[in-house]
Amino acid sequence: MKHELPVPAHVVDLISELQEAGYESYIVGGAIRDLLLGRRPKDFDISTSATPEEVRSVFGRRSARIIGKRFRLVHVTWCGELFEVSTFRQAPEHGGANAKKDLPENLILSDNSFGTAEEDAWRRDFTVNALFFDPVKSELIDFTGQGIEDIQNRVVRAIGNPGLRFEEDPVRMLRALKLIGQYDFTMESATENALFSHLELIRVASPSRLALELEKILASSYGDKHFQAFHDYGLLPYFLPELNNAWDTPHGDYALNLLNERNCRVREGVYRNSISLAMATLALPFVEKGLGRNPGELWEPGPDSTAAIRGVLDTLFKPQTMMNRMTLSAERVLILQPLFGDEQARERLIEAKSYPHSRELLLIRTAVAEGDSAEMERLWPPVSSRRRSGGKRERGESGGNGPRRRRRGGRSRRERGEKGKGE
Ligand code: ATP
Ligand code: MG
């Protein structure tokens, strides 16, 4: 059906480019869901009839790179932005091979057969995630016939047999609960019953995909809401048992309040959504507790507290494995916290590589404790004067609202093909 959606011009151009080369192409998934909900999508996923090689030849090798092992897709750089372009795929068949590997029989291990746009819609997880939009013709396609209505009613409904869909890919349970937490959706009853009876399957989900989901949750500005939904539905003990154990305790409440404050600041555009800052924010009360402090009572700097910080970062995010780089960065942010109370450490602190994120955590703490961080903002400059005048900054520690730098060289976990989609 005809529908107007506010798609940025460069995204329309990208789709046109593929269509002019003769390939059926749409914006799919979360972006359409978000636009219909009146929200700004965080990115635009593209689906097309072109194979990965054909996509690459449309955009050229310099702009398009084929990635992925589990499923192949193309990263296209277009107008300075990175887009994921995937080829229509069909639902995979369940093989008998899993029995040999002692895995649940319906678990999908490989998912790479190309298909039509309609087949591609049906193999997606939820009706609200299966809408296709052609921004050139302004045409919205609801192949399942239920997606638009479910968005209007804010309902999460699995496509097909919910139990089977969760058996095929247990990460879908987590994805359903993210929709509940983030958008205040409710779950359709068959989907909800299946989720309750399949929760334990999360244990057989791919560890790298779960870790990637955790990264996405921490990178988003809704982590506290996601965790709340995981807790309400009983998934949190499997996903982050330490956080679950602290639920409804003074330290656990404080941790969620801090994360909520950080998220509000990200949504208001005050902060860049750094994963390591989110890790440090959530971990701070656990460090205080480990060192025998009350919530909001910092510790003395020194080797004991450094060991406690390491210990907390090692256990809080288990069984998920966070990237070392992020854990180290969170550790540095936490180590600096007590120095904000020490006038003599001021110069050293301001010059530290992790100062910008550490300052952000200071402001978050102050806002939660006192309701306002304006005075601290005046006391502590966003960056040191040396850095302002062009001194060297640590990579990925730009802090505040600074422009996001483009990574050069080195391939991320995402690009190595360990993408977080069950696609
Ligand atoms: P977000 O706003 O977090 O990006 P999203 O729904 O777009 O939400 P993605 O991980 O970007 O999430 O996935 C894009 C689309 O791919 C989804 O909307 C859904 O249609 C499909 N998809 C992702 N993961 C799965 C899965 N595990 N099983 C089936 N379809 C999936
Ligand atoms: Mg998406």
Q: Using a cut of 0.75, tell me whether the model's pTM lies above it.
A: yes
231 Cα: distance to centroid of ligand 1 (angstroms): 22
What local confidence, expressed as pLDDT, does residue 405 receive?
Answer: 34
CA dihedral of residues 163, 165, 170, 172 (deg, nearest 10): -120
What local confidence, expressed as pLDDT, does residue 68 receive?
Answer: 84
> Per residue in 115-134, pLDDT tens?
899 999 999 999 999 999 99
In angstroms, the CA 348 to CA 350 distance is 6
419 Cα: distance to centroid of ligand 2 (angstroms): 11
Listed as own residue / partner, the contacts of 267-274 with beta carbons closer than 8 Å and 24 or more positions apart are: 267/221, 269/401, 270/400, 270/401, 271/360, 271/400, 271/401, 272/398, 272/399, 272/400, 272/401, 272/402, 272/404, 273/219, 273/220, 273/221, 274/219, 274/357, 274/396
Provide the CA 400 distance to its chain's centre, in angstroms: 19
In angstroms, the CA 27 to CA 7 distance is 9
Ligand 1 close to Cβ of residue 125 (< 6 A): yes
CA dist list (Å): 167 to 88, 93, 193, 199, 255:
22, 13, 13, 10, 33
Q: Report the nearest-CA residue for atom 8 of ligand 1.
A: 30
340 Cα: distance to centroid of ligand 2 (angstroms): 38
157, 125 in Cβ contact below 8 A? no
44 Cα: distance to centroid of ligand 2 (angstroms): 6
Q: Which atom of ligand 1 is nearest to the CA of 419?
A: 10
When pLDDT is averaged across residues 388-394 and rounded to a whole number, the result is 46
Task: Give the number of other Cβ atoms within 10 Å of residue 146's Cβ.
Answer: 17
Helix (H) or strand (E) holding 229: helix 223-232
Ligand 1 close to Cβ of residue 172 (< 6 A): yes
124 Cα: distance to centroid of ligand 1 (angstroms): 8
Q: Report the nearest-CA residue for atom 7 of ligand 1.
A: 30
Q: Report the nearest-CA residue for atom 12 of ligand 1.
A: 30
| Topology at the third CATH level for domain 1-152 | Beta Polymerase; domain 2 (3.30.460)
* Tokens, residue 2: 């005809």
What local confidence, expressed as pLDDT, does residue 71 receive?
Answer: 78
When pLDDT is averaged across residues 30-36 and rounded to a whole number, the result is 96
CA dist list (Å): 58 to 49, 72, 315:
13, 17, 46
Residue 396: is its pLDDT beyond 60? no
What local confidence, expressed as pLDDT, does residue 201 receive?
Answer: 94
What local confidence, expressed as pLDDT, does residue 418 receive?
Answer: 36
DSSP secondary structure string, 160-174?
S-HHHHHHH-THHHH
- What lies within 8 Å, CB to CB, of 48 at 6+ separation is 18, 23, 24, 25, 26, 55, 85, 86, 87, 88
Residue 411: is its pLDDT beyond 60? no
181, 263 in Cβ contact below 8 A? no
Burial of 253 (0-12, 13-18, 19+ CB in 10 A): middle
> Per residue in 37-93, pLDDT tens?
999 898 999 999 999 999 999 999 999 999 987 678 999 999 999 999 999 998 877
Q: Report the nearest-CA residue for atom 2 of ligand 1.
A: 30
361 Cα: distance to centroid of ligand 1 (angstroms): 31
User: In the chain, where does the domain assigned CATH 1.10.110.30 lie?
Assistant: 154-239
169 Cα: distance to centroid of ligand 2 (angstroms): 17
What local confidence, expressed as pLDDT, does residue 109 receive?
Answer: 61
Q: Which atom of ligand 1 is nearest to the CA of 43?
A: 4
Higher pLDDT, 422 or 185: 185
Ligand 1 close to Cβ of residue 171 (< 6 A): yes
Ligand 1 close to Cβ of residue 45 (< 6 A): yes
pLDDT band, very low/low/confident/very high, at 402 (cuts 50, 70, 90) = very low
What local confidence, expressed as pLDDT, does residue 408 receive?
Answer: 34
Q: Which atom of ligand 1 is nearest to the CA of 172?
A: 27
In angstroms, the CA 418 to CA 168 distance is 18
Ligand 1 mutation target, pool 28, 32, 34, 45, most atoms within 8 A of CB: 45
What local confidence, expressed as pLDDT, does residue 388 receive?
Answer: 54
Ligand 1 close to Cβ of residue 120 (< 6 A): no
227, 182 in Cβ contact below 8 A? no
CATH class label, 154-239: mainly alpha
- What lies within 8 Å, CB to CB, of 386 at 6+ separation is 351
What local confidence, expressed as pLDDT, does residue 387 receive?
Answer: 57
Higher pLDDT, 268 or 195: 195
Establish how many alpha carbons lie within 13 A of residue 315's alpha carbon, considering only the half-sphere containing its beta carbon.
15
172 Cα: distance to centroid of ligand 1 (angstroms): 9
46, 84 in Cβ contact below 8 A? yes
User: In the chain, where does the domain assigned CATH 3.30.460.10 lie?
Assistant: 1-152
Residue 178's SS3 state is helix
